[in-house]
Amino acid sequence: MSKKIYYINRYDASKRKQIRENSGYEQIVKYNSRFITVTSNKTLSKLLIKLLGKNKPADYITLTAWQEIKLFFLALFTKRPVLYLYADKDALFLPYLKKLLGLKGLRLYGALHWPIQISENYAFYKYNLKSQFNGIITLSETLSKERYSKVQVIPHGIDLNYWNFKDTGQYKNYYLVIGVSNRNHEKQISIIKSILKFDATAKFKILISNKKVRNQYANIINAEIIATRINDDELKALYSSAKGVILFQDYCLASNVVLESMAMGVPIIANNVGNISDYLGEDYPLYIDHKDDMNKLESFITNESFRSEISNLLITKRNSFAWEQIANRLVNFINS
């Protein structure tokens, strides 16, 4: 019988639930009963962080510290494995103690989310902890090419029971621009201007809470800027009526926006960067990377059948990313 699996999640589940209850990698633990976690202690976590001083890694969350120490003893006693949902940023005390004390029986697994070139100050890389992991999960092919003792590509997933709108062609003539992280805003603004050249009536709903970033979009005509964070139900309603999603990135290993758009059957206007093709496919028809690709953008704007074709393609692909099957693959990998 498979063992229970302890997990460490960097996000406060109760706070996250108010906004993002149906999206994000941390949702994976809801889809297999073997995943269990433990609570932390704010005071003891702060004491541990104080001991680190200037050696605290970038983006390491304080509450994770005591959770790691607590799981160190529990994992040793129960011999259950420990999974870091975001190992790049969160793995610190457990692998360090494993290395320091030579505890080969302590089984650690971790999912990696960020490209190595921007992650050197995260704990996993800063302290060279990869050798302490019994298995590494990558969400796309790029990171799987690094030298890990045991690595498995298991993609990001999506809740298809929630994000399940079937496009009926009754969309409105607006495009969504969502989020800040890793976005190439210059390219996104350029695409918006190109869309307006082909269709002066097109509208844009821009969901960006960061004031400095959203100011870049301030002078775009026909644009509504939504500066406050919205919940999943509100976001789903926007997807349901959108003609398309604009998403240009500097790198891509996995993306909530890509998965949500796929599940909702909303065509994505995107650049073919990083591993976005692991999700959309190499031959996705709406990659815009060169000037010669603008004819595809024009066809999408003016040709209803082309948009319908792309929407149906995404709906066909989405079943490969259902959380249930991905959670089971993860459990099988850890217990193999």
The pTM score is 0.92
**At residue 302, does pLDDT exceed 90?**
yes
pLDDT for the residue numbered 47: 95
pLDDT for the residue numbered 18: 60
Ranges of H-type helices in 145-293 = 185-198, 211-214, 232-241, 256-264, 277-280
**At residue 288, does pLDDT exceed 70?**
yes
Q: Looking at residues 2-25, what average pLDDT do you find?
A: 78
Ranges of H-type helices in 59-207 = 64-78, 87-90, 93-101, 123-126, 141-144, 185-198
Instruction: Convert the pLDDT of each residue in 106-153 to its tens digit.
Output: 999 999 998 888 899 999 999 999 999 999 999 988 777 777 778 999
Q: Percent of the chain scored above 70 by pLDDT?
A: 96
pLDDT for the residue numbered 169: 64
Average pLDDT in the chain: 92
Size (the chain), residues: 336
Q: Looking at residues 253-265, what average pLDDT do you find?
A: 93
Give me the domains of the chain, ranges plus CATH numbers. 5-153 (no CATH), 174-319 (3.40.50.2000)
pLDDT for the residue numbered 12: 67
HEC assignment per residue over 175-198: EEEECCCCECHHHHHHHHHHHHHH
Q: Are 140 and 25 in contact (CB under 8 A)?
A: no
Q: Looking at residues 77-91, what average pLDDT do you find?
A: 96
In one-letter notation, the amino acid at residue 216 is Q
pLDDT for the residue numbered 27: 93
Q: Looking at residues 227-255, what average pLDDT do you find?
A: 92
